[in-house]
Amino acid sequence: MATSGLPPAFVARMRSQLATTYPAFESAMAEAAPVSIRYNPLKPVAQFDEAAPIPWEPNGFYLGARPSFTLDPSFHAGAYYVQEASSMLIGHALRQTVDFGDSLKIMDLCAAPGGKSTLLLSHMNRQSVLLSNDVIKTRVNILKENIHKWGHPNAVVSNQEAEDFRSLNGFFDVLLIDAPCSGEGLFRKDENAGKEWSEDNVQLCAARQRKIVANAVNLLTEGGILLYSTCTYNAQENMDNVRWISEQFGCESLPIKMPANWGVLELHEASGFGYQCYPHLVKGEGFFFAILRKGKSTGTISQSTYYGNKPTHEPVLKWEAEVLGQWLQDTASLSLYKKGNGMITAVPKAIEQECATIESALKRVSFGIEIGEFKGRDFIPSHELALSTLVSADLPCVELEKNEALLFLKKELHNVDTDLRGWALARYRGLALGWMKILPNRINNYLPAQFRIRMDLDAGLH
């Protein structure tokens, strides 16, 4: 975005804030934003030959140009996530302050669309649990979709206000608050963000951020880690709020080690540390974060106290469990439950009690992997199962060429060259895209209609 398209008050503020480096910022704002992706370590299939590594994220890469991700079947399979590079710094910061080898309870409070949640899932182990929440109902569906594409079964998704979690005070080891902000760091990518900016909105955002933190900070156990972040530049939403959090809640602001050549600016005040990305210093967008350690907690639940012994669903029948064993890699590590609508959910036993606690405390929550339902004696597998790491590697599958995979994703593939009959996974480069049922003269495509490609495929069929 050219500087002429930016709000004049914002330009004046940034001139004052950056002083002699403002011209470099102005030049960077006129350039195209870098394109970056983060690979899914659970689905290790390299996609982009000319990608350059992002130094702070082992799975992150810059692309030379922005392709049509919609026309890449691997994107739909969850092989990678398109994420802004600066925001991937949260992984580097947390690796210095959190032991991901431990069994952790992690919460991403403002999680949609899911970039930071999928990054956290890639770092944590199978004995840990992640609760991803978003307050906006319309954003929760895309959050669920992105988490399910990532394939990790140790995720819980909720749709709650920050104050709704109070009965879980002291429950979490790590809390990520990527706070809704004035969006100054997005002006280069989104011109509408600049049009909506004002000094008054900055003040409103800063006050709202404090309210969110105040309602959430006691969710942390004593010594727990809070990562506070925004995609903005101003002190009111960034360092002023870090100072307020430190003073109000007795949190200790922690320094993070970063090589100078990354270009991340350390902001060091008496109240603590913050880290700012500017587009003329970092190959990425505007981003700010700070790491704080929670002090003494009050009103917490005991770590051995649970609101229920297990999720409140019926266990599957013995014969159903035997059938499901043919569809799943490892039933011994899973608990299987049937919801009231007949849908069966698989929950890793390692996080079963944590899921029970969360479910008992909240109204709108889902966890584990929905693996399918029985119609009489016939099992109908779910799309979540197809994309998950729980699905058995021994199931029939059909490898599709790119044009066939795109037609499958558009729900316009009507036949395949195979002798298989019955249920099979549609795959592209070894990655599952969804289910098909192969009949003598056609296939039935079980890709959910809401996930089908709607754009013209001419550019992708070559």
What CA–CA distances, in Å, run from 269 to 118, 124, 272, 438? 32, 31, 5, 64
Q: What is the pLDDT of residues 4-49, one digit of tens each?
A: 578 999 999 999 999 999 999 999 999 999 999 999 999 988 678 8
CA distances from 248 to 179, 202, 211, 240 (A): 18, 21, 12, 12
Q: Which amino acid is at 358?
A: I
CB atoms near residue 439 (< 10 Å): 11
19 secondary structure, DSSP code: G
> What is the 8-class DSSP label of residue 306?
-
- pLDDT digits 0-9 by tens, 189-236: 887 777 889 999 999 999 999 999 999 999 999 999 999 999 999 999
Q: What angle do CA 23, 26, 31 make, to 5 degrees?
A: 130
DSSP class of 343: -
Q: Where in the chain is the domain with CATH 3.10.450.720?
A: 306-394
- The Cα 8–Cα 21 span in angstroms is 18
Residue found under tokens 């975005």: 1
Give CA–CA dist 216/165, Å, rounded: 7
Q: For CA atoms 26, 29, 32, 37, give the dihedral sign.
A: positive
Strand pairing class (287-293; 252-254): antiparallel
- Gap between the Cα atoms of 120 and 142, Å rounded: 17
- In the chain, CATH 3.40.50.150 sits at 3-293
Q: Give me the chain's average pLDDT, please.
A: 92
Q: How confident is the model at residue 312 (pLDDT cuts 50, 70, 90)?
A: low
Q: How confident is the model at residue 407 (pLDDT cuts 50, 70, 90)?
A: very high
pLDDT at 8: 92
User: Is the pLDDT at 149 greater than 60, yes or no?
Assistant: yes
Residue with tokens 């900055």: 202
Tens digits of per-residue pLDDT, 317-358? 899 999 999 999 989 999 999 988 889 999 999 999 999 999
Q: Where in the chain is the domain with CATH 2.30.130.60?
A: 396-462
Q: DSSP 3-state assignment of 192?
A: helix
User: Tokens standing for 255?
Assistant: 């320094």
DSSP string, 377-418: TEEEE-HHHHHSS-B-TTS-EEE--HHHHHHHHTT-----S-
Bond into 113 cis (ω within 30): yes
Q: Band of the pLDDT at 62, cuts 50, 70, 90? A: very high
Task: Say how far residue 309 (Cα) sits from the centre of its chain.
Answer: 28
Write the DSSP symbol of residue 34. P
Percent of the chain scored above 90 by pLDDT? Answer: 85
What is the pLDDT, as a whole number, of residue 456? Answer: 84
How many angstroms separate the CA atoms of 246 and 202, rounded? Answer: 21
- pLDDT (tens digit, 9 = 90+) per residue, 445-460? 999 999 999 988 875 5
The CATH architecture that domain 306-394 belongs to is: Roll (3.10)
Name, in order, each residue with C-beta under 8 angstroms of 87's C-beta and a sequence gap of 6 or more. 115, 116, 178, 229, 231, 284, 285, 287
Tokens 């001419």 belong to 458
Listing DSSP states for 142-156 in one string gives HHHHHHHHHT-SSEE
Residues in the chain: 462
Q: Which of 427, 449, 454 is nearest to 78 (CA)?
A: 427
Q: Reduce the DSSP state of residue 436 to 3 states and report it.
A: strand
Token readout for 462 is 């070559």
Distance CA 202, CA 182 (A): 6
Lowest mean pLDDT among 218-232, 272-286, 308-322: 308-322
3-293: CATH topology is: Rossmann fold (3.40.50)
As a whole number, mean pLDDT of residues 59-77 equals 94
CATH topology of domain 396-462: 2.30.130
Q: Give the whole-angstrom CA distance, residue 207 versus residue 408.
A: 47
